[in-house]
Structure 1
Amino acid sequence: PSRVGRVVCGVRATVLVHPSLVPGVPEIGSSPAAHGERGGRRFPPLDAPSLSDRSLAVAAAAGDRGAFDEIVRRFAPAMIRFAESMLADHGAAEDVVQDSLVVAWTRIGDFRHDSALRTWLFGIASHKVIDHRRRRIPRPGSDHVVDRACTDPRTDPPRTCSDAAFLAAVDEVLGTMPPRQRACWVLREVDGMRIVDIADILFTTPGAVRGQIARARATLEARLNAWT
């Protein structure tokens, strides 16, 4: 993996509201008809962290809030990082992901497992990013796409300082890239997604994704020469 892939842990701590608590959103995932049949149902505690993505999706579709909480825990940080890479605005990225999770909660019963749960969630987020970019007034971004190093400064201060400076340099270069190119690189190098899944999320072709990643890598290599 790239140095960024080894160094980056995730995005800053974020508080998201469970979709079922958003006014006007049904109590359970799935269709209104199913809501009428299962509203108010209680579920036994799940060992959610040990469940597969597929099992979590099935449980959430039945209305299990604990299962959906685990889905949020697994995927929301990466979804925010993706949205931020497209919008260059951390606050807007949080809003987009919150809206995306509301959609996911209400439509989880329609998820047919034809693709990975992560790809399905990121596809929803991609639609929301496009909607947001159509509505907003463009402004310079002031937040970071790659945000913190894994190393504990109490145990290895020199490495932590080095990683922090490196990530700051990476972030500066990423900020000069077109949003789609930046998103392709982040999804591949930071989140480790497959090319075909990135293409599905961004509504493009695998060849186009490869081209965007290649250009991003070339830019980073040229601009970060001092770090090699």
Structure 2
Amino acid sequence: MTSLDSAADGLLAERAADGDERAFAVLVRRHAPFLIAFATRLIGSRAEADDCVQDALIVAWQRMDSLQEPARVRAWLATIVSRKATDRLRGRRDLVDIDEQEQADPAADPADRAETSIRLDALSRAVERLPDDLRRTWVLREIVGHSYEEIAEVMEESTSTVRGRLARARRQLAQELEGWR
């Protein structure tokens, strides 16, 4: 174990911002499991989550000098991962995840499966139409299951802002999905 392994995140982030690759590697080792789990919950696919986190870490390395609060590096990394995940979700609108196909219950009534699929498609389209800040807030709360405080940390906003965005997102989704009730 090197002395960097026990260093605080803030110090590691500062050193990484100065170009210290070893400090950045420690940050990656320390936070990659969380970032991968976070991306997997956002995207629903471990393989895509790995790619998303890798892309996010490349961006983070390139922009380390723009990190305002080095001690909050984990939240900053999660924000970058969240943006990359949102981009991936937008890009795969029409693709069907193989994992989802395998999870389908073959014994389920085809009409019920079709109805569920149509409803999920409608919800997906409605979520995609949300403004980015509302969509990210809704996904972090309803899909990932984060608390208001965790969302505020990831998005670097106040909890009252998170609550307001979540209320607006829910209201907009309810209006768009009115016909499905």
Q: Does 1:129 align with 2:85?
A: yes
Q: For 1:194, what is the secondary structure of its paired residue?
A: helix
Query: In 2 relative to 1, CA 70–118 (structure 1 residues): closer, same or farther, beyond 3 Å?
Result: same
Consecutive unaligned residues in structure 1, runs of 5 or more: 1-44, 144-175, 212-228
**Partners in 2 of 1:100 and 1:65 — Cα distance?**
16
Native 8 Å contact 2:36 2:53 kept in 1: yes
Q: Secondary structure at the match of 1:63?
A: coil
Q: Does 1:184 align with 2:141?
A: yes
**SS at structure 2 position matched to 1:138:** coil
- 2:76 and 2:154 in contact (8 A); partners too: no
Identify the residue that residue 44 of structure 2 maps to in structure 1: 88
AA aligned opposite 1:91: A
Against the structure 1 CA distance between its residues 118 and 70, is the aligned structure 2 distance closer, same or farther, given a 3 Å change threshold?
Answer: same
Q: CA deviation at 1:208?
A: 5.2
2:28 corresponds to which of 50, 69, 72: 72
**Alpha-carbon contact 1:57-1:68 (below 8 Å) kept:** yes
CA contact (8 A) 1:88 1:141 kept: no
User: Percent identical across equivalent pairs?
Assistant: 31
Equivalence for 1:47 = 3
> CA RMSD of the aligned region, Å?
3.4
Specify whether residues 199 and 205 from structure 1 end up closer, same or farther in structure 2 by C-alpha distance, changes over 3 A only.
farther
- Relative distance call for 1:114 and 1:62 in structure 2 (3 A) is closer
Quickly say closer, same or farther: Cα 1:199–1:121, change in 2 above 3 A.
closer
Instruction: Using the TM superposition, give the Cα deviation of residue 96 of structure 1 relative to its aligned residue in structure 2, in angstroms.
Output: 0.6
Q: Which residue of 1 aligns with 2:58?
A: 102
Deviation at 1:184? 2.7
Question: Partner residue of 1:138?
Answer: 95
Which residue is 1:34 aligned to? none
The Cα shift of 1:124 comes to: 0.8
**Counterpart secondary structure, 1:188:** coil
Please give the secondary structure, in 2, of the residue aligned with 1:94: helix
CA distance in 2, matches of 1:127, 1:119: 12
Q: Distance in 2 between matches of 1:132 and 1:208?
A: 26
Q: Please report the TM-score for the alignment, with normalisation by the length of structure 2.
A: 0.59
Q: Structure 1 length normalisation: TM-score? A: 0.48
